[in-house]
Amino acid sequence: MTRRQQHTGNGRTGGKARRANGHGTSRRRPTAVTAAALAMAVPLTFSAAGDAGAATDHPIVFARYTATASIEDLYAISSSGGTPVKLTHTSTVSDVMPTWSPDGKRVAFVRYGSGGAIDGIWTMKSTGGDLKVVPGTKGASDPAWSPDGERIAYAKPVGTQREIYVADIDGTPATRLTHNTADDLHPTWSPSGKYLAFNRADAAGNSRVMRIRLSTLTQTAVTASGSHDWTPDWSHGNRIAFSRVDSSGFARLYVIRPDGTGLHRITSARRNDKSPSWSPDGSRLVFTRGGTDEADPEHLYLVKSDGTGLTQLTKTASHDMQADWRP
């Protein structure tokens, strides 16, 4: 099972099943890892038109692979459109699950290769250089930077399950927050930094959004049991967006308040809508649409939080995933 298979779905069913509900991708690991791959990153440059994010823009970082380039690399694109700029050039290792630091100067992401020689959470400059590994994160996924920029939350294997951890950005001390028999994935911080939301996936294939208070480790369910809710993202306006496989059989975007009230659906197309990320002002979301199978491209779209203003951001024959909007 590949890294993306483990962490875009419930981590228990096959890739084909998760493809059907919009939360899996049948992907292989790279076949080799070289030392040179660690340093392969290029500076991000901006054109006069503002491609990939001018100084006044809030660019979006995402992972991409194509039929001809099957190893994932990271890209950045302006939220107003344009040509994506490639941030990493790693022909033998995969770079996925990017997340911006609060000041927009660095990006955390997951890097992995075959054989475990390169495996864990890394950070780099927003321009694509100065790569650093976060110690103690071997096997970890789903990094999320704290609002103060000092800590990082992530999911990490404990036996056959994955649990939520928090560590300083240097990797220490790593504190385990959850202890249960389900898989806890995709943490996201509240604006105050006092809570995390995440999705909890059980052996039956269900997943619900949970909330945990860091000071007491008290956990509260945000969405109902028996749901199929994935990849929550907590806005500065104190709303949580997530992807739900509803009665239609498709994954669609929903928004809910952290106390579990005010649930409403944002998208309703007969496509799979996944991995929402809020704009800095909380008015829009970027997300991935598509990917019912390997032949179905996945593109980034923007939508207003009320469901209007749908815009396609990327259009090439590629799989564009796991976007994160710079704060």
The domain locations on the chain are: 3-325
Give the pLDDT of residue 294: 67
Give the pLDDT of residue 40: 41
pLDDT bracket for residue 56 (50, 70, 90): low
Mean pLDDT throughout 73-98? 94
Mean pLDDT throughout 270-285? 96
The answer to whether 196 touches 214, Cβ cutoff 8 Å, is yes
pLDDT digits (tens, 9 = 90+) for 150-182: 999 999 999 999 999 999 999 999 999 999 999
Mean pLDDT throughout 257-267? 97
Give the pLDDT of residue 178: 97
Residue 33 in this model has a pLDDT that exceeds 90: no
Give the pLDDT of residue 17: 29
20 vs 84, higher pLDDT: 84
Give the pLDDT of residue 36: 38
CB atoms within 10 A of CB 155: 28
CA angle 142, 20, 316 (to 5 degrees): 70
Residue 76 in this model has a pLDDT that exceeds 90: yes
The CATH number, out of the four listed (2.120.10.30, 3.30.70.1150, 3.30.70.2190, 3.30.499.10), of the domain defined by the range 3-325: 2.120.10.30
pLDDT bracket for residue 63 (50, 70, 90): very high
Mean pLDDT throughout 275-295? 91
Give the pLDDT of residue 87: 96
Cα distance between residue 164 and residue 217, in whole Å:
11
Give the pLDDT of residue 78: 96
pLDDT bracket for residue 68 (50, 70, 90): confident
CB-based contacts of 231, cutoff 8 Å, min separation 6: 8, 186, 199, 242, 243, 274, 275, 276
Question: Cα dist. 30→7, 12, 94, 113, 323 in Å?
Answer: 17, 22, 7, 6, 22
Mean pLDDT throughout 56-60? 84
Give the pLDDT of residue 296: 83
Give the pLDDT of residue 15: 31
pLDDT bracket for residue 141 (50, 70, 90): very high
211 vs 128, higher pLDDT: 211
18 vs 217, higher pLDDT: 217
The answer to whether 84 touches 314, Cβ cutoff 8 Å, is yes
Cα-Cα end-to-end distance for the chain: 33
Residue 114 in this model has a pLDDT that exceeds 80: no
Mean pLDDT throughout 220-237? 97
Give the pLDDT of residue 262: 97
pLDDT digits (tens, 9 = 90+) for 95-112: 999 999 999 999 999 999
Give the pLDDT of residue 6: 37
Interior/surface letters 9-29, b for 16+ CB within 10 angstroms, e for the rest: bbbbbebeebbbbbbbbebeb
- What is the pLDDT of the chain when averaged over all its residues? 85
Cα distance between residue 305 and residue 325, in whole Å:
14
